[in-house]
């Protein structure tokens, strides 16, 4: 039997009422593979991720997790949201400890695991702070720790760094790569930033402009690893890939732009 | 400097009142004497006569506050999480909230007698709706990302209730503590005034019956001081309970 993909969309469509948000979509993420999905703003990228997370059920088709059809919340996946998902009434440590606590692990053990992961993401000594006292970058790190403490085989990431300034963002991208390199999870990474997609991924999938978005092209990223996201952008191969993908993406972005203007 | 002005203003008002009452410009029958009022208050505390009444009024306040808050949180969570039931009950809730509930005092007096229970009942109806509407709001305003985040971290429906909805709702309850504690106090005093056998409201009621306006004012002063102390205690509790919230005066870092 060939190895199962960690995550697979099998002819998935999603409609909210009469509006088809996701058209016929099939895609796979292999175990340990880093896949990015790029598409114009507002095309339904997040919907795709919510389906993989099990937060939304597809209207038709199936989502397979390690070969098993997904029903309800995807327990094998961690989700890094675009917005703030930290519980504001819990300190950073208690936020990271939440997952293990929900799973029924003893409180002391959960807090030890939380401290370990806070240190791994560079937040050692900030455990007692409440989220409103953390900077945007620190909150993202805490969210990352909160997700990784559960060691999920699949990571779903929804433009997680889009709200950060450029410097913090590159730092976080490099740290994400280092963490991923150390423990290879299957990653489905959503972004509208093509450079980010190429510098992080093994594979980039381009989505059509909405409505009824669907994958229209796929590119293998054969850049060597380990990578530095800032340096890799300067290599000729990166530029060539970017040009290639952008030639497909540009048409979709223009389409979305015109729709946005017409609406 | 502000303090000096405040003291001067208070002294001026009390002075005018005093002069007005001894010269007869302000009829002592209706306005009393500030000195007599002070004497009444001092006598109450010196003889200890006031303590049982204060204890009654304050325990009614406490019981009304606790029962109203607990039921308000429970009902708010329940209806906040079951929109269908809420849709059915909505007009009844609106009607019950619109009703001038102070007027229920005579009914509660008939049902529960002149003792503590009828006062608690009135305070309860006042506190309940404040807490209830705040919890409803709190449940509705849980950020979807926080909710989905907790679900993705493996929270069961029960854990969502305990670790997401309840803290979100309580933050609203805590920020309305001043109002709800104040209302519990108002409920207790008003119900006492409308019919009772003990409490500071009862003292005022008795004095009014004998045209003893000094004692009425003395009761009002004692109640006001009590309300101020309660408010200060609530402020203390607030800073402890809402430690995780960004303070309005501290700029949010991003």
Put simply, whether A86 touches B (Cβ < 8 Å) is yes
Q: Could you tell me which CATH number the domain at A7-76+153-262 has?
A: 3.40.50.300
Per-domain residue ranges of chain B:
1-31, 32-241
Strand partners, A219: A204
Say yes or no: ipTM exceeds 0.85. yes
| Alpha-carbon separation of residue A211 from A20, A37, A250, A255, A257 (angstroms) | 6, 16, 17, 11, 13
Write out pLDDT tens, residues A117-158: 999 988 999 999 999 999 988 999 999 999 999 999 999 999
CB < 8 Å from A in window 139-178 of B: 143, 145-146, 148-156, 159, 163-164, 167-168, 171
Write out pLDDT tens, residues A177-219: 999 999 999 999 999 899 999 999 999 999 998 788 899 999 9
Superfamily grouping for domain B32-241 = MetI-like (1.10.3720.10)
CB contact under 8 A, B143 and A102: no
C-alpha dihedral (B57, B235, B93, B76), degrees to nearest 10? -120
Set of chain B residues whose Cβ sits within 8 Å of the Cβ of A114: none
Put simply, whether A2 touches B (Cβ < 8 Å) is no
Burial class (CB in 10 A: 0-12, 13-18, 19+), B135: buried
Q: How far is A1 from chain B (nearest CA, A)?
A: 31
Q: How far is A78 from chain B (nearest CA, A)?
A: 6
**For A89, which of B152, B159, B244 is closest by C-beta distance?**
B244
Return the structure tokens found at B6: 């405040």
Put simply, whether A36 touches B (Cβ < 8 Å) is no
CB contact under 8 A, B148 and A79: yes
**For B146, which of A87, A91, A102 is closest by C-beta distance?**
A87
CB contact under 8 A, B146 and A53: no
pLDDT at A163 over 90: no
CB contact under 8 A, B244 and A73: no
Q: What's the first-to-final CA gap in chain A, in angstroms?
A: 50
Write out pLDDT tens, residues B204-241: 999 999 999 999 999 999 999 999 999 999 889 888 88
The whole-model pTM stands at 0.84
Kindly identify which residue of chain B lies nearest to residue A98, measuring between CA atoms: B153
pLDDT level of residue B248 (50, 70, 90 thresholds): low
**What does DSSP assign to residue A213?**
B
DSSP reduced 3-state for B249? coil
Q: What's the first-to-final CA gap in chain B, in angstroms?
A: 38
Q: What's residue B245's pLDDT?
A: 82
What's the average model confidence in pLDDT over A47-66?
94
What's the average model confidence in pLDDT over B146-151?
95
What's the average model confidence in pLDDT over A61-85?
93
* Distance from C-alpha of B142 to C-alpha of B152, rounded to nearest angstrom: 16
Q: Closest Cα to residue A211, out of A20, A10, A32? A: A20
pLDDT level of residue A262 (50, 70, 90 thresholds): low
Residues of chain A with CATH 3.40.50.300: 7-76+153-262
What's the average model confidence in pLDDT over B36-45?
94
**For A98, which of B150, B156, B244 is closest by C-beta distance?**
B150
Q: Closest Cα to residue A251, out of A19, A39, A55? A: A39
């Amino acid at each position: 039997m060939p190895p199962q993909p960690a995550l697979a969309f099998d002819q998935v469509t999603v409609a909210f009422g009469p509006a088809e948000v996701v058209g016929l979509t099939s895609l796979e993420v292999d175990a340990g593979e880093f896949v990015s999905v790029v598409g114009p703003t507002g095309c339904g990228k997040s919907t795709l991720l919510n389906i993989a997370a099990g937060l939304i059920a597809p209207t038709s088709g199936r989502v397979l997790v390690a070969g098993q059809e997904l029903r309800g919340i995807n327990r094998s996946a961690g989700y890094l949201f675009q917005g703030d998902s930290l519980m504001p009434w819990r300190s950073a440590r208690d936020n990271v400890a939440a997952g293990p606590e929900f799973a029924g692990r003893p409180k002391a053990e959960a807090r030890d695991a939380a401290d370990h992961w806070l240190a791994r993401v560079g937040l050692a000594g900030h455990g007692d702070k409440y989220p409103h006292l953390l900077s945007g970058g620190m909150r993202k790190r805490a969210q990352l720790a909160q997700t990784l403490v559960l060691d999920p085989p699949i990571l779903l990431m929804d433009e997680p760094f889009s709200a950060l300034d450029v410097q913090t963002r590159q730092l976080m991208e490099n740290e994400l790569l280092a963490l991923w390199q150390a423990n290879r999870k299957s990653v489905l990474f959503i972004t509208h930033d093509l450079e980010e997609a190429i510098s992080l991924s093994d594979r980039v999938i381009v989505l059509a402009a909405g409505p009824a978005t669907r994958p229209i092209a796929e590119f293998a990223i054969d850049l060597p690893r380990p990578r530095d996201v800032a340096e890799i952008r300067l290599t000729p191969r990166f530029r060539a890939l970017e040009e290639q993908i952008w030639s497909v993406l540009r048409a979709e972005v223009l389409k979305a732009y015109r729709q946005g203007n017409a609406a | 400097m502000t303090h000096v002005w405040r003291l001067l203003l208070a002294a001026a008002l009390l002075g005018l009142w005093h002069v007005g009452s001894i010269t007869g410009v302000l009829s002592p029958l209706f306005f009393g004497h500030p000195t007599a009022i002070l004497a009444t208050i001092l006598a109450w505390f010196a003889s200890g006569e006031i303590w049982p009444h204060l204890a009654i009024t304050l325990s009614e306040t406490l019981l009304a506050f606790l029962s109203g808050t607990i039921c308000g949180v429970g009902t708010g969570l329940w209806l906040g999480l079951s929109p269908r039931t809420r849709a059915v009950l909505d007009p009844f809730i609106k009607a019950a909230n619109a009703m001038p509930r102070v007027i229920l005092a005579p009914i509660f007096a008939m049902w529960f007698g002149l003792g503590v229970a009828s006062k608690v009942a009135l305070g309860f109806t006042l506190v309940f709706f404040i807490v209830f509407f705040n919890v409803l709001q709190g449940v509705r305003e849980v950020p979807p990302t926080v909710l989905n985040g907790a679900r993705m971290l493996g929270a069961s429906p029960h854990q969502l209730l305990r670790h997401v909805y309840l803290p979100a709702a309580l933050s609203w309850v805590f920020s309305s503590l001043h109002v709800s504690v104040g209302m519990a106090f108002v409920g207790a005093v008003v119900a006492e005034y409308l019919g009772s056998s003990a409490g500071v409201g009862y003292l005022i009621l008795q004095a009014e019956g004998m045209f003893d306006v000094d004692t009425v004012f003395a009761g009002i002063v004692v109640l006001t001081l009590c309300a101020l102390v309660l408010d200060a205690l609530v402020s203390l509790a607030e800073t402890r309970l809402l430690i995780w919230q960004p303070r309005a005066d501290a700029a949010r870092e991003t």
